[in-house]
Chain A
């Protein structure tokens, strides 16, 4: 056996060992934030685990080389799959931290066994002074090299999951190489080589499929079975199904659950329809699921509905996906309905139509690109398209969970010269949900409902306009403007990270 090659083994296992530690630190700071804490915790725990491993080596008495190679293969599996395991574990709040701790302890302990074992394997080849000096020197050089390669090469090129897998493959290769290096001291080199080849094959397969496996993690994120998922140029669209209901998620945010969406959509649509003098021409902005259209079409006076939704994939789903078509009663195929896939802000700047009712049903203002659809400029453009005796309804986040955001939308509508009546209703899937009824004149509380509703009647509609004390208007709310996007920041402060 060539002694010099044994030091290459030291170098490689040490590099891989530190690599796993960096993977754990990076994954946890990505997912949990607060990188200082995560890295400090990871490094401390990992060094402690190395100690456990070193201590455990005293119980290993025979077959040192055999044990060393087995440990090496175990490291390859545990470390190589670590990032993927952590990503999957993140879907569960309960499990992420235990899995993280276990993973760091396991990899740390296994790596901790390696170096003392190797020193013992090599002790007949060199005197202790020389041996320790060389082994530890190569150990630390390995650490340095991977510490540099990790942020500069590995993560930018491969991403985290593949970086961990690449390190695992390297570990497995070292194990295979060690079999040939120490052939004379292993009892059944063939069997060990076979194990090594198997581990390498598994890791290589996972490496090839890493993209798909990361996507699988998504299934854990949603409470129910994912029945449809696609990534459009604008968002991630996911439909899930539970025992009785199904749900639509856009970028992970629940848009509706079929069990109680009628409450939301009746409350969104009918007050504005009851307020407009003659609700014949209706504009719906957002709401590509067709559910608001379904409610609009309950009004027999309606002549024309224009639906503007950015994402053609969502409106296609609403027209073609059977459970959704059943839920929206095929509303998007109604001859009175025109579907336009466009940016609503741009649409309002270019459109020349006039509308009696506008239903504004965008996702919550969680990003700047959605936040612009809640600005003064946006509402001014909308008002320019409205008949003077028309009415506007705006979905306005939760008055209880995000009161500043809710009232910011009211202040913004007012800044565009509108008279505003805030209202709310209970939607079990969302909790207490908020809306704005806005018009270019002072309007009474509406109390008129078409036939066929499940939630509202004329009497109950009045009660939506009674706000509880915990939804009272706070002081000093500024309107949302394109140049400030104050709403996105307040929404982030109130509901961010949920």
Chain B
């Protein structure tokens, strides 16, 4: 890995360099940027941009309860603030990410009225938000969805409801999706040994038949074998989505880390290791060491179609210029037309059962107005680290405390005239071998237009073992730090990038993805945390241990159906 860095340009960004940067906070020094900086220093200074994640500030009101109290007290003393009011809802959803909106969608689909959703941020979507730069839509987080099988009933129902797909003739098949919604070719390329190559497998300069290639073939054969594990008596496969619908056959894999698993199988080639870790960083935001071997195999099997003979076939991906923000918009549209009421900028800070109702205390983060909500049922579509701070009583507190989260940084680059291309042409997904980042996705890849301008979305999963320290460093670093990091990462493949970027906007997610840590995924902690407490229900993707849209949607559907049962509403279950 490091050998490659030396070849492909100046100032490589390896994990070590990133770690040093994160810890010291002084990025320019850590990256040895001196080798590169002077030439385009003026161009770099001209680049505009900002850190755009305001909710990190309001969210910390919850952590620093003192300031919450002070803010609220200050506002009651103020002339304009109101002293607080009461409000009621039949079902109150806390959290407007993919899971919370899936609850709302499922309830709307069953005709339940009086549903209210509280969201902390100014905008719905959580880690599936999107944005606009120079008039072009782009993602801020999750940006694709494998076309589901019709058996994934909840997700299929959503896509059909939204007009994004049609049911296939056979239930075992995949949904039928309009070609324009699928990722266009060419989909992926890798920058290695100074050139862009087709696909993500590092070919290492064209020499085939070497050690890593043999290891990869062996690994894929093993994955096929594991994927072909016979279904159990209830027809459940060993690896599947949702995770809750899997058999117990291969859960023993959870006992070891993906790193130990790879070592045991002799998958030790540098390219092989990089390729495996790219997978865990991409889907789980975690290193091989911090990922359960079960999760690793799940990545290669669970999101793929399984043909009748049990052999895995390649999946196709749905994507949009704005990423999964499109799915959020559809969920919102379908729920609001069913009567959903959405309140943004609301911090729910206390949740408790109260006899025949549940109560949620919330604060408007702009006006500090206090609202005391009463609802027949409350669904907490917030991550467990938040629930730890909001639940008044929590019998599953110890289980909830075991959840770990990896931070992410996402940057969007405005490129009025993208750099010229050498080697394999620009793809949807563009990855640099050996980089700590996941490279960038071209948000304009799916568009037909004559203009050249592009927006690139750059993704950095922070996979440090000590995620708390990394989180603190992440939030402390100024915008210039991220600007320099993005440029240093992409200067190798695009030497004149700094002269071509007009703007770099940055969003930091302190708790972007739950980590499927070894031994934890099937420890029972997730299931205990998902159990309703009286009239308080739980729906969040972290309850699945994998931050995937499919899981967020399934958890939302499951929690909504719990509520439907409690309310006595008849509806054919989808979860």
Contacts and interface: CB of A to CB of B under 8 A. Distances in A.
B179 A482 contact: yes
B450 A372 contact: no
A261 B94 CA distance: 69
B205 A36 contact: yes
A342 B10 contact: no
A300 interface: no
Given A157-B495, A376-B179, A482-B179, A152 B39 contact: no
Given A157-B495, A310-B450, A343-B449, A483 B10 contact: no
A420 B183 CA distance: 28
B179 A377 contact: yes
Contacts of B316: 483
A156 B495 contact: yes
Contacts of A345: 448
Contact of A481 (B7, B9, B179, B495): B179
A211 B559 CA distance: 65
Contacts of B10: 152-153, 156
Nearest to B425: A368
A341 interface: yes
Interface string A264-283: 00000000000000000000
A482 B185 contact: yes
Contacts of B450: 310, 341-343, 346
A349 interface: yes
A482 B180 contact: yes
A48 to B, nearest CB: 25
B186 interface: yes
Nearest to B12: A152
B28 interface: no
B184 interface: yes
B contacts with A: majority SS: loop
A153 B492 CA distance: 11
Given A367-B425, A372-B184, A233 B452 contact: yes
Nearest to B317: A483
B206 interface: yes
Contacts of B6: 148, 151-152
A266 B267 CA distance: 61
A148 B7 CA distance: 8
Which residue of B179, B185, B205 has the most chain A CB atoms within 10 A of its CB atom?
B185
B185 A483 contact: yes
B170 interface: no
Q: In the complex, which range does the number of interface residues on chain B fall in?
A: 20 to 34
Contacts of B449: 343, 346
B80 interface: no
A485 B186 contact: yes
A333 interface: no
A35 interface: yes
Contacts of A180: none
A484 interface: yes
B205 A483 contact: no
Interface in A314-373: 341-343, 345-346, 349, 367-369, 371-372
A491 to B, nearest CB: 13
B207 interface: yes
B109 to A, nearest CB: 30
Given A36-B206, A345-B448, A367-B425, A151 B194 contact: yes
Contacts of B71: none
Contacts of A368: 185-186, 425
A455 B7 CA distance: 57
B189 to A, nearest CB: 11
Interface string B480-500: 000000000000000100000
A71 to B, nearest CB: 32
Interface in B27-78: 35, 39
Contacts of A341: 450
Nearest to A310: B450
Contacts of B206: 34-36
A368 B12 CA distance: 30
B9 A483 contact: no
B260 interface: no
B574 interface: no
Interface in A364-405: 367-369, 371-372, 375-377
B99 to A, nearest CB: 29
Query: What 3 A-B pairs have minimum CB-CB distances, sorted nearest first?
Result: A485-B185, A345-B448, A346-B448
24 contacts: A36-B207, A148-B6, A151-B6, A151-B7, A152-B9, A156-B10, A343-B448, A343-B450, A345-B448, A346-B448, A346-B449, A349-B448, A368-B185, A368-B425, A369-B425, A371-B185, A372-B184, A377-B179, A482-B184, A482-B185, A483-B182, A483-B184, A483-B316, A485-B186
